[in-house]
Amino acid sequence: MFTIGILASGKGSNLKAIVDYIKKEKLPVKTGIVLSDKPGSPSLAIAEKEGIAYQCIPEEKYETFLSPATEKEYVKVLRSHDVDLVCLAGFMRVLKKNFIQSFSGKIVNIHPSLLPAFPGLAAWEQALNYGVRFTGCTTHFVEYGVDTGPIILQAVVPVLREDTPETLHKRIQEKEHFVYPLTVRLISEGRISISGRKVYIIS
């Protein structure tokens, strides 16, 4: 069976969305391993509750990326679980060359904006402060830049006059919880084709 590995640092809402789709038999994949860089992460608690293998591999040296040794350990664990696709679900580390080369074309991420607009942290706040009328979420393949990889799917969220960062983020997450499982499904079914930066969905 097509096997995914999920990397998560935070609350794990996208992890839970993927797991729920699998449980409802709407996503025919297996979650082989959940990895986190944060001890006590709610993502690890979700994995434990769902009977999914999990492990915390902390990074002591750097704040925003993994040291070569730690990155090597992540790759080792993912390979030991025969992972076909690596899904970043709120993993707050920039992946470097060795990791990306080890899973070339097999790493996906979800970002809370309509990329290429508002890459980086707190994208919903960026959108709100900029004054855009619409924002949303994007799934994309991961490359060496931050939130720069080829775009797979996007969903649009209107920015309301009364929105706060919290209310806007919540509505974006509701879209994420549909778009990410769908992205994983399309990839697992071999329905994604890439030509340069363009991603095509095969019907």
Rounded to two decimals, the pTM is 0.96
pLDDT in tens, 112-170: 999 999 999 999 999 999 999 999 999 999 999 899 999 999 999 999 999 999 999 99
* CATH class given for the domain over 1-104: alpha beta
Establish whether domains 1-104 and 110-203 are of one fold: yes
Does residue 192 register a pLDDT over 90? yes
Question: What are the φ and ψ backbone dihedral angles of 47, each rounded to 5 degrees?
Answer: -60, -45
Q: What's the Cα-to-Cα distance from 128 to each of 98, 105, 115, rounded to whole Å?
A: 36, 32, 15
Q: Where are the domains of the chain?
A: 1-104, 110-203
* pLDDT for residue 60: 86
Best CA proximity match to 181, nearest among 157, 155, 156: 155
* % of the chain residues with pLDDT over 70: 100
Superfamily of domain 110-203: Formyl transferase, N-terminal domain (3.40.50.170)
Residues 6+ apart with CB under 8 A from 158: 133, 134
55-87 pLDDT, tens digit each: 999 998 898 999 999 999 999 999 999 999 999
Q: Give the pLDDT band of residue 50 (cuts 50, 70, 90).
A: very high
Question: So which residues are the catalytic ones?
Answer: 111
Quickly count: other Cβ atoms within 10 Å of residue 4's Cβ: 25
What are the b/e assignments for 37-65, b being 16+ CB within 10 Å?
A: bbeebbbbebbeebebebeebebeeeeeb
